[in-house]
Amino acid sequence: MALFPAFASVSEAADSGSSRKGAELDWLSNPSFCVGTIPPPSQQPEGAPGLVSEGSPLTRSPLKSESSDESDSNRKLKQTSRKKEKKKKKKRKHQHHKKTKRKRGQSSSSASEPDSDAERDRSSRSISKKESEKPNHENHAAADTGRWCVWLEDTQAVTGEAFRTDKKPDPANWEYKSLYRGDIARYKRKGDSCLGINPKKQCISWEGAPTEKKNSHKHVERYFTKKNVGLMSIDGVAVSSKTEPPSSEPASFIPVKDSDDVAPSVTTWLNPLGIYDLSTTQWLQGQGPAEQESKPPDSQPDRENAVLKAKVEEFNRKIRENPQDTQLWMAFVAFQDEVMRKPGLYAIDEGEQEKRKRSLKLILEKKLAILERAIESNQSSVDLKLAKLKLCMEFWEPATLVKEWQKLIFLHPNNTALWQKYLLFCQSQFSTFSVSKIHNLYGKCLSTLSSVKDGSILSHPVLPGTEEAMFALFLQQCHFLRQAGHSEKAISLFQAMIDFTFFQPDSVKDLPTKGQVEFFEPFWDSGEPRAGEKGARGWRAWMHQQERGGWVVVNPDEDDEEPEEDDQEIRDKTLPRWQIWLGAERSRDQRHWRPWRPDKSKKQTEEDCEDPERQVLFDDVGQSLIRLSSQDLQFQLVEAFLQFLGVPSGFVPPASCLYLAMDENNIFDAGLSDEKPLTSSTLSFSGVGSVGRMDRLGCQRWAQGHNREGEEFIRNVFHLVMPLFSGKERSQLCFSWLRHETAKVIWCLHTKNKKKLKSQGKNCKKIAKNLLKEPENCSSLCLWKQYAHLEWLLGNTEDARQVFDTALSMAGARELKDAELCELSLLYAELEVELLSDLRGAAMSRAVHVLTRLTERGPYGSYTGQVLAVHILKARKAYEHALQDCLDDSCVSDPVPTSSVNRLVSLAKCFMLFQYLTTGIDAAVRIYEQVFAKLKGSVSPAGSGLEHSGSPHGLASALEAVTLMHTSLLRFHVKVSVYPLTPLREALSEALKWYPGNQVLWRSYVQIQSKSHSASKTRRFFDGITRSTKSLEPWLFAIEAEKMRKRLVETVQRVEGREIHATVPESGLTNRIKALFEHAIQSDSGSQCPLLWRMYLNFLVSLGNKERSKGVFYKALQNCPWAKVLYMDAVEYFPDEMQEFLDLMTEKELRVRLPVEELELLLED
């Protein structure tokens, strides 16, 4: 058959023609397809033998041998195929009798048949090896083909068609849509067209493929997607230029020159100078060269690994030499993070590198192994054991961790820092937390430390600072109870400590603390009035009277009894259930924060108490009583109690418990500082809430005061403790009382309540006059100053001037040596300056007269008119000499006395204001720079960030006060005149680097920066401060600054307060605020600060994301499970789950004053 049917005539002509022509056109025939020579499929052998000789290549035989041996091979093939077919039939019959009959589907049988046919086809194509080895002497051509592979088709005759007819039907073709996929040749089609068609007029529709290939638009992924975030952890490739021979062609790019073209010299203990090569170093180590020298570390990863390896060797060498250096061990533990970021140093292959790189557990295990080695060498090191416990929080269960903590506390019962961390750990474990458990733990801690201090535990000595640390732990316990809702127990603790410290009988003073507590129990259970209650006389008076026969009970006059205020808890029953519960709960918190005591005049007993939780037993306070021998700590106890009650005494909790006690956002309230930057009294409570306050976040009630009974309780406390002190301490208490009353006046001014302002002002002036009438207070300049300021706030300017003039006349000619006189004159001058509309008449004002008369000898004279220039020059010289003397004295004496520090501060502030009024703002700034340059050597930067008023006043507090005066002057000058904001911003930035914990400076900074349109500089500054300090204030004010900017943007976008138009892009403020919150709660101080969690939860709820807000709430409970305000916020934000939150509060033993059952009864009534 012809290869191409169209040329069949040509091939026939070639056969009849000459042999030469036939040889040329021989390629046109296809002798492999011969008609009539192929046996039917039934006669083909199953394994057709092939004539293949061993060792011969499998090639086709020439066409000449095909015609000679066709007949012989055909006969042999037919005979062999018939014999094998008979054998197969017999075998099938034999197997058919053995097998049981099974029904098979047609599809399975038909599917197997094409496979068997294909096997037969393949087997018939080759001749078996055995038959090819038999000698064939019948034909000479067969002998020639012994060395070659002969195909079956090649041996057939060329006559006939080369197609087979399969007469056996395949039922599968009827059942399925297409042929069996194994019978279809596989190919790949390139393009949808076909050769020979006109693409403009004709087209082919391919079945199973789309007519047109859709253009896949691949979405460009941003850098923050999940897929690309992983790229951030991949190390960058260093770009460096290779030394190549210069070429004449111009370069297509500018090559990047690398300064480190040569591998840096690695310094080790064998090669300290880095001058030996590798072979010399190996010789020093006693090693020979390697068999296959590796190439030098020319690449960047090799150099980095070499540097890391050198650091590891250096650490190991130092640790071997000095295993007792705990700081070195801690540094080695911290170094593991850097090593694991470059794991190629220890990895075997790339796969292991990736595993190491992403395995946090591997890093933790390695750190743990290092710490265990360190503890073996340093058995008494507490820091190493604490680091191990902190690391094991990732591995161990809470119960196991608590046991390890208990073992550590048992070994070191005298370590106050360890106790503080242990209490914080137990307090923040949600799974094992309960209020009673933590309360008892505080009692155990304080009683153990008291035993160590008394010498009862002989095995452990008293460490320095134990008494101060015990006082800080006591305050931490009181704030813990207040935040958990058990305010009655917290008040009882303060009451017990006041009696235990100041009214101790002489007969028990020599006993240890445990013995004194045993004697104190009868007094507590006797029912006698305690501190803050009417008729309280103290423990000592009760003991003396008991020795004489007890108190004489006098029936009080019934006329003195005032009716109790009828405060209705539920005023509107139509409100939702959760709002009614929140209002009633907060109302009871405000009214019932004092412990309930039976009133003997009304013949009440303990059974008459409606809420048993309001009664406080001795077991709740007995273990926590401690003995304070220091006079300073005793006065701080009174200040802390007053601050706890809401009196602005100026006391701030110690740094160890400050952020735990922060739960109010009043740190952002500027008060009247915007209107009066010079004289605004900073009544901030540092974010620490007072007792009886569970208000919602953002509710400004910082100076509203308590109800009538609460204010009476505070007055009783003042009357009880003021006789215990004398001198400046007594004046300070009176000043705190007067400031508390003045704060209510400022609150009325803030709310513009004129009716209440009049009554409150009258009451406040009455208290001030009564205090000044006392003989010990008549010469107290600080009280006169506060009284004059009160008159000024009430609008009585002339009366206030008369009070100031009277006080200055009483002081006499003390000149610049008295700090209180300087402060009085300073406040008088500042109030006068704030009355000026501009600075044109500042030099002739009453303020310059006051500051000038302060430097003159002789009695004070009232203001008569313009101050003479000669007097101004004399006053300036006097200020200069006095300030220089104060600076010299402060630098000479090592422990600077408090009086010298106070005098330096007052004098510098007066001189700065004097220079500002007479010369200008630049002269005032120069005074500040002079003081700063002299004192900055004695103060470390950020040294005051974690030290507050609880510490002794030193040069750090002096410099901080002068800095505040400097910034206040700049703010006032910007307010009243045209002056750039840059000096003020720079001054605030510089001051905050030194005092990152000063909230007044932060408030001013945020307020000034909020006026700027560019936030990048502010953000860089916040980022730098948060990296350099552990204070939480930078985080809080950074969040507040971004929230202020967000509110500003939304105000611009809103039209008439209705809808938001996205004309101004938000520029990612929401995500930035979320990131700031997340970073802040990852710090040690931020993770357990209730205020930060409340702000975070409030912000997310304001965005409308309820699910994420709920997740943050439960995350907050994991860190601060004791904060009742978090649960109350959750009830407000997620009212549908109020019952779940109340059950959780009950389970954790938080104080729920209004149970749901009682609420249902009240609603029914």
Average pLDDT score over residue span 918-942: 82
Choose between 698 and 963: higher pLDDT.
Answer: 963
- Average pLDDT of the residues in 839-858: 79
The Cα 135–Cα 152 span in angstroms is 18
Provide the greatest CA pair distance for the chain: 159
DSSP 791-807: HHHTT-HHHHHHHHHHH
Per-residue pLDDT, 861: 77
Contact between residue 401 and residue 411 where contact means Cβ atoms under 8 Å apart:
no
Instruction: Give the pLDDT band of residue 5 (cuts 50, 70, 90).
Output: low
pLDDT higher than threshold 80 for residue 674 = no
Confidence tier at 1115 by pLDDT (50, 70, 90): very high
Contact 684, 669 (CB under 8 A): yes
To 5 degrees, how large is the angle CA 200–CA 204–CA 207? 155
pLDDT for 154: 59
Q: Is pLDDT above 70 for 294?
A: no
- pLDDT, residue 120, reads 45
Q: Residue 1129's pLDDT is what?
A: 92
Q: In this predicted model, what pLDDT tens digit does every residue of 476-513 receive, in sequence order?
A: 999 999 999 999 999 999 999 999 999 988 888 889 99
> Rounded to an integer, what distance in angstroms lies between the CA atom of residue 721 and that of residue 686?
25
Kindly report, residue by residue over 568-594, the tens digit of the pLDDT. 667 777 788 888 898 888 888 888 888
Where is 101: in which H helix or E strand? none
The first and second tokens of residue 991, run together, are 């001051």
The owner of tokens 């192929």 is: 38
Segment 183-207 shows an average pLDDT of 77
The continuous run of DSSP H or E covering 1054 comes out as strand 1054-1055
Nearest CA to 905 out of 926, 918, 886 is that of: 886
Backbone angles phi, psi at 1071, to 5 degrees: -65, -35
pLDDT band per the 50, 70, 90 thresholds, residue 14? very low
pLDDT of residue 336: 84
What totals of helices (H) and strands (E) does the chain contain, helices first? 46, 2
Average pLDDT over residues 1138-1158: 91
Mean pLDDT of 1073-1078: 92
Higher pLDDT, 859 or 438: 438
Predicted pLDDT at 264 = 58
Tokens describing residue 105? 């589907």
**Would you state the pLDDT for residue 138?**
44
Whether residue 558 has pLDDT greater than 70: no
In the prediction, which pLDDT does 1030 show? 87
Q: What pLDDT does 258 receive?
A: 53
Q: What is the mean pLDDT of residues 822-845?
A: 80
What's the pLDDT score for residue 57? 42
Min mean pLDDT across 37-41, 748-752, 1082-1086 is at 37-41
Q: What is the mean pLDDT of residues 321-333?
A: 88
Q: Tell me the three state secondary structure of residue 394.
A: coil
Comparing 1106 with 283, the larger pLDDT belongs to: 1106
CA distances to 783, 826, 827 from 832, in Å: 19, 10, 9
pLDDT at residue 213 tops 70: no
pLDDT of residue 667: 82
Mean predicted confidence (pLDDT) in 872-890 = 87
- The CA–CA distances, whole Å, from 45 to 80, 111, 127, 874 equal 7, 22, 10, 135
Q: Provide the pLDDT for residue 161.
A: 54
Instruction: Say what the pLDDT of residue 27 is.
Output: 62
- Both tokens of 495, joined, read 């009451």
CA–CA separation, 807 vs 65, rounded Å? 142
- Give the per-residue pLDDT at 742: 87
**pLDDT tens per residue, range 366-385:** 888 899 899 988 888 888 88
For the chain, give percent helix, strand, coil, nearest 5: 60, 0, 40
Q: Per-residue confidence at 1068, pLDDT binned at 50, 70, 90?
A: confident
Residue with more model confidence, 53 or 937: 937
What are the residues whose beta carbons fall under 8 Å from the beta carbon of 920, sequence distance 6 or more?
none
Mean pLDDT is highest, among 284-288, 564-568, 693-697, 805-809, for 805-809
The count of other CB atoms within 10 Å of the CB of residue 105 is: 10
Kindly state the average pLDDT of the residues 934-950.
54
Mean pLDDT of the chain: 77
Taking only the tens place, the pLDDT of each residue in 626-644 is 999 999 999 999 999 999 9
* Residues 534 and 557: beta-carbon distance below 8 Å: no
Tokens 């001749």 correspond to: 127
Q: How far is CA 623 from CA 257, 496, 733, 821, in A?
A: 72, 11, 29, 46
Q: Are 457 and 414 in contact (CB under 8 A)?
A: yes
Name the residue with higher pLDDT: 458 or 1092.
Answer: 1092
What integer pLDDT is reported at residue 926 of this predicted model? 92
Segment 2-15 shows an average pLDDT of: 53
Confidence of residue 1078 (pLDDT cuts 50, 70, 90): very high
What distance in Å separates the CA atoms of residue 791 and residue 799, rounded to the nearest whole number? Answer: 7
- Beta bridge mates, 1055: 1059
pLDDT computed for residue 834 by the predictor: 84
Q: Coil, strand or helix: which one is 126?
A: coil
In DSSP notation, 186-201 reads: P----SS--TTS-TTT
**Mean pLDDT calculated for residue range 814-843:** 80
The structure tokens listed for 1086 are 């931020």
Find all residues with CB under 8 Å of 942, minimum gap 6, and list them: 993, 994, 995, 996, 1028, 1029, 1031
pLDDT tens, residue by residue, 124-175: 444 344 444 444 444 444 444 444 455 555 555 555 555 667 778 777 777 7
pLDDT higher than 50, residue 856:
yes
Enter the tokens of residue 708: 């009538």
pLDDT of 193 higher than 70: yes
Q: What are phi and psi of 123, to 5 degrees?
A: -70, -30
Cα separation of 43 and 33, whole Å?
18
CA distance readout (Å), 529 to 202, 336, 490, 597: 110, 61, 17, 9
pLDDT at 895 over 80: no
Q: How far apart are CA 928 and CA 916, in angstroms?
A: 11
- On whether the CB atoms of residues 1038 and 1086 are closer than 8 A, the answer is no
Locate 543 and state its tokens: 């003991």
The answer to whether the beta carbons of residues 968 and 829 sit under 8 Å apart is no
CB 384 within 8 A of CB 329: yes
What span, in angstroms and rounded, lies between the C-alpha atoms of 1067 and 1072?
Answer: 9
pLDDT value at residue 123: 44
Burial of 1081 (0-12, 13-18, 19+ CB in 10 A): buried
Asked if 1010 and 1037 count as a contact pair (C-beta separation under 8 A), the reply is: no
CA dist., res. 214 & res. 1096, Å (int) = 47
Its pTM surpasses 0.75: no
